[in-house]
Chain A
């Protein structure tokens, strides 16, 4: 009996009004994944960019040379930064007078081993419409804004809205971005969510210059 009551006391002690085994989970601090450039490797010119692209009104402009990421509100008419290479709006991508192609490679190692950087068709941006206000979606009133979009780069994520919830499928392919000055960058989009699985946070691995 003594053992039984000991076990009862242990069991009662184990329980808690707010739960047990919280240590089982990872805790993501708000600043644990700072936005911008990180994991920069100067030797092979690679790094990772993590951005918050949840705001439908904003483009996030990436400058691979200066390693900056700046946002501008297109609805408010904010001016673009003077120098940038590509930009992200939700899952849309555009270039700064550049062009892009999708490779068959899924890793930078495969790309570098092939040396196949410029073979293939590079596609420039085209004028398109991007959604800037989803709040009227339930009444069928989405608000769009004219903007340049690179259709090839934007293939990194397919969002199938024909079913609910939408199905998100990443291509997993390496993309080659050719700047207006002829410089090349390799881009690999690796996630569209943050560590808490909130959508609209984008992780991009890059090599620049390639």
Chain B
């Protein structure tokens, strides 16, 4: 009852007191000037993206390959969460379980702590086993998701080693909207969402809430885990924006709650409180500035079902200040300069006596974007980061080139990536169930990488082919190593490793309503100074999407068949954590999972979806931590009602 009461109060507070909101790097201004007709299938390249350069830029002009997943893609493939979406749309991305069913990411050889996740350009506080809480990334109110693969520390600092995933919230483009949606499926999987928004004069407001729950899933075969924990979560976000004469003020507040039924007598609880204020001002056509303050607090607690006490065991609080200034010298040159200051506080049960540590980080960066000719673009960036507690600093350069040759675009970039040691990695002192200790190491060096990407993109009419080769030399990766003297694990820097591969995709859209997208990634992780193959990254993975849709006046449908194919992987694993002399060779089986979704636009604003997931009924013989937690074919039905469109005489066509 205490929880429900708090949820109610918090939602009430954020509705009452939120100031305006929006996205700092709002591409709307840029998009407004781009109202030119382009064929449906070419619209993607005309999408304004923000993540790769921190300035609004057309996708086709960005010198780094950027993958965009739009809201209609999310709707058409009927995914339950962001993990499901990214795995469906992008090869080389795999979400698995680590200890105690905590979700862990592998993106083309990089772990979760080497891929930076952002929501509207803001970092997420908190982590569990080196991964942010992906449940926080609700898909209900998303305009698009931008994925930039490769290092991006020259703009985003720590953690942007393997790539950046930026979830961008929907901006209102209608006077008002009210959307209510529900989804129900196998294992009592329930999803309810609602968004209400309005534009009135200089104000714009959006409130979104999502509730998700699922029963425990008893797996039919043996494995590293036998039952997937039941869970429920609530995610609410409020944004209010005020615009006046070139000035845009934005305020936001958010609340997140998740509960896992992980123990018979206690449940794991996760909460997040976030808020932010942002001011953007356009001095002229050539100059604009943004300043923002962001607050994010991620807590973990244990709720005892016997004593009914909810005891906090972890709290990560991040307060960030940011400034960003853009100046266009000419139409061909843009200078972007900025800086951040962040106070990072961490209290955790993994510190001695449940203690806390905190530090300040500061950075400054500059980026120069120069369209040398209409065909040739150069982008150079440099960033300096400083961490107070370890007195650690790092310089992150970047150079990107793009050359357009009729329908062919060639992109090449060198970028430095780095990841600073976290407070946890520096100061952990954790007794692992009286078995061994895990100690932090204040003398850790930052992880760093040298990233080279070369990509060719060919576009003709409704066909697009992109091939990208990538190479990363990663130094000083941080991991735990057994220390016999301490009889425990200690965080140490590792010897270098190289991550390389090829990333290909091909897409085609035909006028009669058929769309196809095929993607493939080859990844090779090579540990120098070690002949063992210690990475469990799957070398081959592919995704496929086939869509067919038609639209009449009041009725339309879209049939989407999506699939992911993952190869097996054979790797060497140490037989003992304390003795690194013996290994065993382990093969994790490959698998493929396909999903069929029928989305029907029944009437104005009324959409009905029906999904059959895992249509070929794949069931793992043994549930490894990297096996899909599926019990076979599952079914989902969904309903989405856009109330505003019910009252609108114009039914704005969407996909299909």
Q: Which residues of A contact B (CB under 8 A)?
A: 4, 7-8, 10-12, 14-22, 24-28, 54-56, 134-135, 137-140, 160, 162-165, 167-170, 190-193, 195-197, 199-200, 203
Contact = CB atoms under 8 A, between A and B. Distances in A.
Interface in B291-316: 293, 295, 297, 299, 301-302, 304, 306-307, 309-313, 315
A7 B19 contact: yes
A167 B299 CA distance: 24
B485 interface: no
Given A7-B17, A163-B225, A20 B266 contact: no
B6 interface: yes
B344 to A, nearest CB: 10
Contact of B251 (A8, A54, A139, A196): A8
Given A139-B578, A170-B264, 9 more contacts: A7-B18, A12-B277, A12-B293, A135-B436, A138-B576, A163-B225, A191-B265, A197-B302, A197-B304
A15 B319 contact: yes
B577 A138 contact: yes
Residue of B223, B319, B482, B577 with most chain A CB atoms under a 10 A cut-off: B319
A184 B350 CA distance: 43
B209 interface: no
Interface string B233-258: 00000000010000001010100000
B356 interface: yes
Given A11-B17, A18-B356, A193 B304 contact: yes
Contacts of A17: 317, 319, 343, 345, 358
Contacts of B302: 196-197
Given A20-B297, A26-B311, A196-B302, A4 B19 contact: yes
Contacts of A165: 99-100
Nearest to B297: A19
Contacts of A167: 226-227
B636 to A, nearest CB: 28
Given A4-B20, A17-B345, A170 B265 contact: yes
A168 to B, nearest CB: 6
Nearest to B225: A163
Interface residues of B, number: 58
A193 B19 contact: no
B84 interface: no
A11 B313 CA distance: 25
Residue of A11, A54, A164 with most chain B CB atoms under a 10 A cut-off: A11
A54 B434 contact: yes
B275 A11 contact: yes
Contacts of B487: 135
A99 to B, nearest CB: 27
B578 A138 contact: yes
Given A19-B345, A195-B307, A197-B302, A138 B435 contact: yes
B44 to A, nearest CB: 37
Contacts of B295: 15
Interface in B397-441: 433-436
Contacts of A163: 223-226
B176 interface: no
Residue of A56, A168, A191, A196 with most chain B CB atoms under a 10 A cut-off: A196
A168 B312 contact: no
B135 to A, nearest CB: 19
Contacts of B293: 12
A135 B578 CA distance: 11
B309 A28 contact: yes
A196 B436 contact: no
B625 to A, nearest CB: 9
15 contacts: A4-B249, A4-B251, A7-B251, A18-B358, A19-B297, A19-B317, A21-B273, A24-B310, A55-B434, A139-B576, A139-B579, A163-B224, A165-B100, A193-B263, A197-B263
Contact of B311 (A139, A164, A196): A196
A25 B301 contact: yes
A50 B318 CA distance: 38
A106 B57 CA distance: 66
Interface in B1-34: 6, 17-20
B143 to A, nearest CB: 24
B311 A197 contact: yes
Contacts of B301: 25
Contacts, number: 130
Given A11-B17, A12-B293, A138-B435, A19 B304 contact: no
Contact of B313 (A56, A134, A192, A196): A196
A10 B16 CA distance: 12
Mostly helix, strand, loop or mixed at chain B's interface? strand
B553 to A, nearest CB: 43
A19 B253 CA distance: 15
A19 B273 CA distance: 9
Q: Which 5 A-B pairs have the closest CB atoms?
A: A197-B302, A26-B309, A25-B312, A139-B578, A138-B577
A16 B317 contact: yes
Nearest to A7: B19
Contacts of A56: 434
B581 to A, nearest CB: 11
A20 B306 contact: no
B435 A135 contact: yes
A18 to B, nearest CB: 5
Contacts of B100: 164-165
Contacts of B356: 18
A25 B317 CA distance: 16
Given A140-B576, A190-B306, A193-B266, A134 B319 contact: no
B311 A203 contact: no
Given A16-B317, A17-B345, A170-B265, A134 B435 contact: yes
A137 B435 contact: yes
Given A7-B19, A17-B343, A28-B309, A199 B226 contact: no
Residue of A24, A138, A160, A197 with most chain B CB atoms under a 10 A cut-off: A197
A163 B434 CA distance: 18
Nearest to B306: A191
A200 to B, nearest CB: 8
B433 to A, nearest CB: 7
Interface string B593-630: 00000000000000000000000000000000000000
A7 B295 CA distance: 15
Nearest to B224: A163
Interface in B368-409: none
Interface in B325-358: 343, 345, 347, 349, 356, 358
Contacts of B18: 7
A20 B317 CA distance: 9
Contact of B263 (A20, A27, A168): A168
B322 to A, nearest CB: 15
A16 B277 CA distance: 15
Contacts of A138: 435-436, 482, 576-578
A28 B20 CA distance: 39
Given A14-B275, A165-B100, A195-B311, A19 B306 contact: no
Contacts of B277: 8, 11-12
A1 to B, nearest CB: 8
Given A15-B295, A19-B315, A193-B266, A24 B6 contact: yes
B224 A164 contact: yes
